[in-house]
Every structure is written in C-alpha cells, then in structure tokens.
Chain A
Amino acid sequence: MGEPTRAEYHAELRAIEERALEGLDLAVHAIDRALEAVRSQDAGLAREVVEGDDELDARYLEAHERLLTLIAREAPVAGDLRLISALLHVIKSMERMGDQCVNVAKMIPIAGSEPPADERLLQNVGAMGLQVRSQMDQAKRAFAGRDLDLARDLVRQDDIVDALNRECFRIAIEIGDEPDRREWATAMILVARALERIGDNAVDVGEQAAYVVTGQFREFDDASHPGAPGAAG
C-alpha cells in the first residue's frame, strides 16, 4: 500500500460525525431542561425547550445534506459506507429525541402552573427522565468509541425505562376520580410515553454503533421476536 489518500473526504466524514454526536449533546441539554420544566412545572422553561428544538432540526438538516453530498461525490464503500449509513440513522434518532423533548415540554401548559400533582407519579417520571438521559449519554459514548459492549448494554438499560413507564401508567390509573388530577395524570402519562420513546431512540443509536463495528444490521431486541438472533442478552 502507498501513501494515505482522500484526506479531504475522510476529514469531512469525521467532521460530520462530530457534528452529529454534538447533536446528541444538544438533545441531552433539551431533555435536562424539559425535565426541569416538569419538575418545577415551569411553563416559561417549557417554551424555551420548544423553541430550542429549531437548533436540533437545523443540525439534522445540515448533517443530512453533508452526508448525501459525500455519497454523491465520493461513492463511499466498506467502513465509510457503514458509517455514513449509521450516521443517517443517528441524526434521525437525534432529531426524534428533540421532538420528544418538545412533546414533554408541551405537556406543562396543559398541566397548569399549580397542578394537583401526585408526588409518587412525579418522582417516577423524574426517575424515568434521569434514566433516559443516562441512556442518551451512553449511546453517544458507545457510538463515538465504537464500543460494542456499551452499545448492547443499552437494551438492559432500556428495560428499566420500560418498567418505570409501566409503573407510571399503574399509578395514573389509581389516581382517583377527581377530574383535575386525572387530567394532570394523563399529561404525565404522555410525558412518560415521550421519555420511553427517547429511550428507544438511544437503543437505535446503539444498534447503529454495533452496525459500524460488526457490519451486521439488526435490531438488538425485537419485541415481536424475543430471543431472535441478534437480540441482546
């Protein structure tokens, strides 16, 4: 083999990956603020989360365009092709995470400034939020480090989120007949649902990390085919 070639192309690919992973950081920032808005029932902060999603959308569009340009101009193959394919998924997951943070934030005005909050449900939603935030961070580290074990561990982490989500639902059902409390609990169910989806998006990012490393394109865990080849754990 001779001297390294196509330096500009590979530098651009590295730069796009950096921008995409920074996008995951933006999503983590968004969930931090959305969770704070839930905890403090702060409608102003919730509005900032909604407005801040524009930055994530712009990041998604920018990365998407740059990736398509690389495909069109450089005809990537092998590891480069896998990385570009994976990044297209990762930026979509990032954009969806941002949208779910918006969904969380939009529930705050519905809940009102002084809602009839149930402390147990609020704690449960808060625990879910922290768990999901941790998964987002783990997904980013797994992708950046091409760490297969860390990526696969996301499925185990996501089981915790799913269990908390079911618990939220159970608490909400038992919240009583008072209309305001029921409306608030319903809003919290939707918050929990949005958080649960973010957890799934984090698993998706982990799956793409695994694809880059192994070349095997498959879901870690298929709910319709538990125990199928490629299922984690």
Chain B
Amino acid sequence: MPKIQIEESVRSEPPLTRPADPAAQAAEPSAPAAPADELERPAKTVTARNVSLFYGDFQAVADVTMTIESNKVTALIGASGCGKTTFLRSLNRMHELTPGARVEGEIAIDGQDIYAPEVDPVQVRRVVGMVFQAPNPFPTMSIYENVAAGLTLNARRMRKADKDEVVERSLRGAHLWDEVKDRLDKPASGLSGGQQQRLCIARAIAVEPEILLMDEPCSALDPVATLAIEDLIRELKRRYTIVIVTHNMQQAARASDVTAFFNVGAAGEPGRLVEVGPTERIFTSPSEQATEDYVSGRFG
C-alpha cells in the first residue's frame, strides 16, 4: 500500500504510521507548514469502499462506496439516524473511540488505507481535522493559545516567531484575524458563537491538515455567522478537502460542490448511501425518488 506522499518543498508532514522514536521526532525543529501567501494547494482524496459501520451488534451504516474529491466540499445530508455523522467520524478514525464500535471495508486517503495495522490513528487525525457541532474552544486559554494548542498537542517545538506566524496565518485563514488581532491574549470564551467556531476552524487548520471534517458546524450559529462560515468553507476548499454534515439543505446547496444523500429504509435498518453527485444535479434533477422526496421536503 503506498504511503501518502507530500512534496517536501510544499510542507513537512508526518507520515500516518507511528514514529519509530516519538521523542526524537518531537525534538526536531518544525518550520511553519506553508508560506502565508499560499492560497491554493492540492489536497487529498478520500475513497470509501464497501464501508459498513457498527456499534456492537447494531449496524449503523451499510456498504458505502464513494470518492470524496480533493479540494471540493462534499456535503453529507439525510434525516437523523441515517448514519451520515457516523460515516463522517469514520473518516478520521473517531468512530472507533466509541466502545464496541468497528469498521468493515476500506477507507483510504490518496490510496493509503487509514485502518491498516501500521497506521497510527493519532496521525490520521492530524491529517484529517475535525470541527464539531458546537464551538468548543478551550475556555480558559487565550485566543492565541487556542490556535497554538493543536501545534502543541502535535508535539511540535516551534520557535515563538514561527508559532506567531502559524497563529496569524490560521486566524487569517479562518477569517478571524482582523477581529481578534488586538486581543490575542484574551480568553476565547469572550468571543461570540460565530467567532468561537471560526477559532475552532483556525485551530483545526493550524496543523495544516489535508482534510477537514465538519459536523453541523453552523447548527449553533445565527444566520449571519452561518453565512460567514459558509464563505469561509468556500475559501478553505482551495487548500483542503472538506466534508460537511448538515441538516440545513440550503446550506448544502449553497456551500457544497458534491452532495451525498444517506437514508434509512426502515426503523432498525442501517443507513445507506442513496445517491451522490454534483450538488447542482442533486438539487435540480436527482436520480432517486428518495433523494427527490428528501431535498424537496416532501417527507419529514
């Protein structure tokens, strides 16, 4: 199985496998991941083949096969309980954190199976970042420390100047810099909900992941903050592959390039991928009646 290859000239990145000597790696000086003016970058592709997901005996998702294209926004939509969030969490191996949870099938990033025995799940989560439903900044940390937290947790020892640069670049990348540049040392808890969510996005992109997973990132935000996040998502796809779970179909229509519709046939059955395709097609001429019924709100 080929390893994920990153051009060294672009950025340095740890492999997905466990380091032979973590202490030695942690001691390496780490340069800023990418130049601040680099707005576009080819990101990675995720392929799921016959993926089934279980919680103990209960099968939550059955037989999903799809490709999540690089530098595109893929929206996962479907009614509650259809398995879309479970599938999302399987893309960075968070699903397995639930006791009894397991995965069948294959999920690969640029061809590398992220569930292969030699792969380190921590490194997977480093390459595949996640933004959660409710903004969850570390409340007692400052704005600066919140962004730098990802770097610290990844055992990077950076020079202060390099860290400053990454924090600024990340906050700029999350459309937050101008609003917080004069109060970086203030607690993150003082920010509005929308700002906190953008701070969490800044934290996620500080470590330069390849893929960003977003689990209903706007469900706790007001409409203006929601549109700001959607604008940000459209810009972020120039550097990252983005997968977003949303219950807001208009958000999927506005912000995504590709839409995947998940559905449960009957109570107790696993969720299945009904249809995936370009968002404009899913919202104008879906192939499947179930998709048509769901996106046009014919059934609750």
The distance in angstroms between the C-alpha atoms of A77 and B293, with both chains bound, is 10
Mark each residue of chain A from 51 to 88: 1 if its CB lies under 8 Å from any CB of chain B, else 0. Answer: 00000000000000000000000011111111000000
Interface size class, chain B: 20 to 34
Interface hits, B270-300 → A, CB 8 Å: 282-286, 290-300
Q: Let me know if A77 and B253 touch, CB within 8 A.
A: yes
Nearest chain A residue, comparing its CB with the CB of B263: A1
Known pairs A77-B249, A77-B253; A5 contacts B283 (CB<8 A): no
Q: Let me know if A78 and B283 touch, CB within 8 A.
A: yes
Q: Let me know if B253 and A5 touch, CB within 8 A.
A: no
The distance in angstroms between the C-alpha atoms of A10 and B298, with both chains bound, is 9
Q: Does B250 contact A (CB under 8 A)?
A: yes
Q: Let me know if A76 and B296 touch, CB within 8 A.
A: yes
Known pairs A75-B250, A77-B253, A81-B283; A2 contacts B295 (CB<8 A): no
- Of the candidates B263, B284, B291, B294, the one whose C-beta lies within 8 Å of that of A81 is B284
Q: Let me know if B298 and A6 touch, CB within 8 A.
A: yes
Q: Nearest Cβ distance between residue A212 and chain B, in whole angstroms? A: 10
Q: Does A177 contact B (CB under 8 A)?
A: no
Q: Nearest Cβ distance between residue A207 and chain B, in whole angstroms? A: 16
Q: Does A3 contact B (CB under 8 A)?
A: yes
Q: Does A233 contact B (CB under 8 A)?
A: no
The distance in angstroms between the C-alpha atoms of A98 and B200, with both chains bound, is 60
Q: Which residues of B contact A80 (CB under 8 A)?
A: 296
The distance in angstroms between the C-alpha atoms of A9 and B292, with both chains bound, is 16
- Of the candidates B263, B295, B300, the one whose C-beta lies within 8 Å of that of A78 is B295
Mark each residue of chain B from 193 to 223: 1 if its CB lies under 8 Å from any CB of chain A, else 0. Answer: 0000000000000000000000000000000
Q: Let me know if B293 and A1 touch, CB within 8 A.
A: yes
Q: Which residues of A contact B285 (CB under 8 A)?
A: 78, 82, 214-215
Q: Does A176 contact B (CB under 8 A)?
A: no
Q: Which residues of B contact A75 (CB under 8 A)?
A: 250
Q: Which 3 A-B pairs have the closest CB atoms?
A: A215-B285, A1-B299, A77-B283
* Residues of chain A whose beta carbon lies under 8 Å from any beta carbon of chain B: 1-6, 9-10, 75-82, 214-215
Q: A3-B299, A78-B282 are in contact. List 10 more A-B contacts (CB 8 A).
A: A1-B79, A1-B290, A3-B300, A4-B298, A4-B299, A77-B283, A78-B285, A80-B296, A82-B285, A214-B285
